[in-house]
């Protein structure tokens, strides 16, 4: 049973306990464990085997026992019993925003409603509005939420959200009185998907700023517009909120709206033990009731005796304990990156020439660029065969003599065939500077087959890097079934690097996998998989994932200067 399934079972337990009206703190305990399991870099099954469940934040004696039962038997008696106490489907009502446990139970007990569809019928039939404490406004609101739920209203990949923010920020940053404009929320934490966008800033003339914001050309609909805050929907359906606040509380406000929820809960619990109360306006000393304000987040954390915690780490894992000890890593940053080692050109399925890509890379300040076009393999458009790869190697040699200021590595993204063999003869792989291996076909293999296939490839001494290891595509294609832990252990043993692919639809390795690979001593490389010069900009997405994986520059090959990379690739 994988972590996703375990998390779902415990989320369901939390929902049912809510419907039951259980102690809210008990419910919170289950929810905390759900979030922990979702962020866990290792499989819970593995922790059960090694008797290490106590390491899961929030798992105490009772929940540890329940997890063990669920993992070892595939069933959980407590969960089954709980489910039997409620009509099936009732917890799906909780998926509708504005419907909580109390209302769900009321709808179920009074009207027998147990699905969103039935709820809609009941509302239209006027049955819901006649219930106690219900009125037309509530039912209209529920209907709106049901329709939004159906429309799509799902979370948007960060690759789509960030450009929208950039565009809006560029427009607003022209306003001379607006300061500190920054996104908050899951976008700032660089989660791979975001629900909506929260922008924050400080200004003396908030109403004017808000007016400019709601009048932007990309705004399709204004949901709310006040003197300090506005909500709009921009083209593409994304909701964007802008909040203008006083300069002197900006630090605590930004911290509050950045979250995550679990991080903030943990932080406040800790503050409470110190006799302090945290809120978005600052820190209150509970004894004196005096409020201290903070213009920056760093000062806000410092006042609590904590090192600054970068937003990407604020997920309620071990970041607060680490900050207490002054032990927060110096995370890798975009300016640390000195080259890109996985890109495509018009020799295979890329758009631009090798030279155009190299010049664009030089423009970004890079020292090197690795050309890794596809091998001919199974139907990949214009893949290189042995003969064309030789030609390309020779062209790269000539280009390196002609172009200064950037070094071009020859390379190949060689296909890992279904049987685990590579789609290019070994003698040719020894002639290129960098060999990147990747799965592009037969993705439905069993976990056993796929694991053997990938491990076989990275055991080949000519393979330097395993590209996009899970092969997932956001938002639709699930990762292939593979024992990722076994892949990491093999990569560590064979000194094969794993890629963090920054293409927004991939982000693969993902954050928690990057964390685990690094922990096991695997060297990582952040690439864009660019198919055109513009795609080289995807590097920031890869860096964002690496930061969420607690990676420092030293963990990443392409933060090294050219000579070190050459030494690494030839060793």
Partner DNA sequence: GCCGTTTTCGGCCCGACTGTTTTCAGTCG
Token output for 562: 């050219």
Looking at residues 58 to 97 of the shown chain, list those that interact with DNA (rule: CB under 7 A): 58-64, 96-97
With CB under 7 A as the contact rule, the residue among 20, 83, 268, 452 that binds DNA is: 268
CB of 363 to DNA, least distance (A): 39
Complex with DNA: residue 75 or 378, whichever CB lies closer: 75
| Beta pairing, strands 524-527 & 497-501 | parallel
With CB under 7 A as the contact rule, the residue among 87, 100, 305, 425 that binds DNA is: 100
Span from 263-271, 333-341, 396-404, 537-545 in contact with DNA (CB under 7 A): 263-271
Taking CB under 7 A as the rule, does residue 568 contact DNA?
no
CB of 135 to DNA, least distance (A): 2
CB of 131 to DNA, least distance (A): 10
Token output for 77: 């008696």
Task: Please give the helix or strand (H or E) that residue 161 lies within, else none.
Answer: helix 158-172
Three-state SS for 105?
helix
Complex with DNA: residue 89 or 97, whichever CB lies closer: 97
Token output for 405: 């200021």
Token output for 335: 């300016």
Cα maximum dimension of the chain? 81
Taking CB under 7 A as the rule, does residue 151 contact DNA?
no
Report the C-alpha gap between 535 and 144 in whole angstroms: 38
Report the C-alpha gap between 47 and 221 in whole angstroms: 49
Looking at residues 129 to 148 of the shown chain, list those that interact with DNA (rule: CB under 7 A): 132-138, 141
| Beta pairing, strands 434-438 & 411-415 | parallel
Taking CB under 7 A as the rule, does residue 316 contact DNA?
no
Backbone angles phi, psi at 379, to 5 degrees: 70, 15
| Beta pairing, strands 197-202 & 156-157 | unpaired
With CB under 7 A as the contact rule, the residue among 15, 42, 101, 338 that binds DNA is: 101
CB of 354 to DNA, least distance (A): 46
Site string for DNA, 276-305 (x = CB under 7 A): -xxxx---x---------------------
- Residue ranges of alpha helices (H) inside 51-157 are 61-73, 77-84, 101-111, 116-124, 136-151
Nearest to 110 by CA among 90, 96, 124: 90
Token output for 109: 């007990």
Span from 57-65, 163-171, 242-250, 330-338 in contact with DNA (CB under 7 A): 57-65
Span from 274-282, 476-484, 515-523, 561-569 in contact with DNA (CB under 7 A): 274-282
Complex with DNA: residue 185 or 502, whichever CB lies closer: 185
Looking at residues 5 to 24 of the shown chain, list those that interact with DNA (rule: CB under 7 A): 23
With CB under 7 A as the contact rule, the residue among 2, 46, 72, 98 that binds DNA is: 98
Our measurement of the distance from residue 87's CA atom to the centroid of its chain's CA atoms, rounded to an integer in Å, reads 35
Binding site for DNA (CB under 7 A): 23, 25-26, 28-30, 57-64, 96-104, 132-138, 141, 185, 261, 264-265, 268-269, 271-273, 275, 277-280, 284
């Amino acid at each position: 049973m994988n972590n996703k399934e375990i998390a779902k079972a415990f989320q369901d337990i939390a929902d049912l306990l809510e419907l039951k009206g259980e102690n809210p703190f008990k419910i919170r305990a289950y929810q905390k464990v759900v979030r922990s399991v979702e962020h866990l870099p290792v499989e819970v099954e593995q922790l059960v085997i090694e008797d290490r469940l106590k390491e899961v934040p929030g798992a105490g004696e009772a929940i540890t026992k329940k997890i063990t039962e669920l993992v070892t038997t595939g069933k959980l008696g407590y969960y089954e019993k709980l489910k039997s106490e409620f009509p099936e489907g009732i917890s799906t009502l909780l998926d509708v925003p504005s419907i909580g446990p109390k209302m769900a139970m009321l709808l179920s007990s009074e009207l027998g409603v147990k699905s969103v569809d039935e709820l809609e019928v009941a509302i239209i039939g006027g049955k819901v509005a006649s219930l106690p404490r219900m009125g037309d406004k509530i039912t209209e609101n529920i209907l709106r939420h049901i329709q939004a739920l159906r429309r799509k209203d799902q979370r948007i990949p960060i690759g789509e959200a960030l450009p929208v923010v950039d565009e809006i920020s560029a427009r607003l940053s022209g306003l001379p009185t607006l300061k500190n404009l920054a996104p908050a929320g899951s976008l700032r934490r660089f989660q791979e998907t975001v629900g909506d966008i929260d922008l924050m800033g400080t200004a003396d003339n908030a109403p004017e700023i808000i007016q400019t914001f709601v009048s932007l050309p990309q705004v399709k609909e204004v949901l709310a517009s006040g003197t300090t805050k506005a909500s709009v929907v921009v083209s593409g359906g994304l909701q964007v909120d802008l909040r203008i606040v006083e300069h002197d509380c900006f630090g605590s406000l930004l911290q509050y709206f950045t979250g995550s929820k679990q991080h903030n809960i943990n932080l406040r619990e800790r503050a409470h033990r110190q006799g302090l109360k945290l809120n978005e306006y600052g820190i209150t000393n509970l004894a004196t009731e005096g409020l201290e304000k903070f213009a920056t987040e760093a000062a806000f954390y410092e006042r609590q005796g904590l090192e600054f915690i970068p937003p990407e780490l604020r997920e309620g894992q071990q970041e607060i304990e680490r900050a207490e000890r002054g032990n927060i890593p110096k995370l890798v940053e975009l300016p640390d990156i000195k080259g890109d080692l996985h890109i495509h050109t018009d020799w295979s399925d890329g758009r631009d020439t090798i030279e155009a890509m190299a010049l664009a890379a030089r423009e970004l300040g890079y020292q090197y660029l690795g050309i890794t076009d596809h091998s001919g393999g199974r139907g990949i458009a214009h893949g290189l065969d042995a003969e064309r790869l030789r030609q390309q190697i020779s062209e790269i040699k000539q280009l390196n003599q002609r172009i200064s200021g950037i070094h071009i590595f020859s390379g190949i993204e060689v296909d890992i065939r279904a049987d685990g063999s590579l789609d290019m003869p070994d003698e040719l792989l020894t002639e290129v500077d960098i060999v990147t291996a990747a799965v592009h076909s037969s993705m439905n293999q069993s976990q056993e087959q796929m694991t053997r296939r990938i491990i076989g490839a990275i055991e080949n001494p000519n393979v330097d890097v395993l590209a996009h290891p899970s092969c997932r595509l956001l938002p639709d294609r699930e990762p292939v079934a593979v024992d990722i832990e076994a892949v990491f252990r093999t990569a560590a043993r064979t000194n094969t690097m794993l890629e963090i692919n920054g293409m927004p639809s991939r982000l693969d390795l993902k954050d928690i996998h990057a964390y685990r690979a690094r922990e096991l001593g695997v060297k990582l490389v952040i690439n864009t998989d660019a198919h055109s010069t513009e795609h080289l900009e995807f590097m920031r997405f890869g860096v964002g994932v690496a930061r969420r994986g607690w990676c420092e520059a030293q963990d990443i090959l392409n933060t090294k200067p050219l000579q070190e990379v050459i030494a690494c690739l030839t060793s």
